[in-house]
Amino acid sequence: MKVFAIGKGVKPITDDVRQQIMPKEVPHTLNLYLEGKIEQFYFIDENPGVVFLMNVESLDDAKAIVAAMPLASAGYLAFEYLPVGPLKPLGMLLHGK
């Protein structure tokens, strides 16, 4: 299943904390990408945050994966989850319904 995980900053990150967490966050994210759990990732320009398009078994799986990420587990990002799938009305066009 596909899930958008939308993370927004919930508390400021100091430079010291950023220097401690980011060397863990980046490899963690890249490993999830290489494992196929995160298909795409984006930075939100207007409000610091991220968007992950995830390929997971379930919504609970997406939540558990994100909760283990360093910025989320330290409470710097909170996530909203949006399960998505194929555009079902297209089937009506193909089948004449």
Residue 96 has pLDDT above 80, yes or no: no
Residue pLDDT, tens place only, 2-52: 999 999 999 999 999 999 999 999 999 999 999 999 999 999 988 889 999
Q: Residues 3, 62: contact at Cβ < 8 Å?
A: yes
Q: Residues 26, 70: contact at Cβ < 8 Å?
A: no
CATH class of domain segment(s) 2-95? alpha beta
Residues 50-84: b if buried by 16+ CB within 10 A, e if exposed:
bbbebebeeeeebbebbeebbbbeeebbebebeee
Residue 80 has pLDDT above 80, yes or no: yes
pLDDT for the residue 30: 97
Domain boundaries, the chain: 2-95
Residue 69's pLDDT band, with cuts at 50, 70 and 90, is very high
What does pTM read for this prediction? 0.88
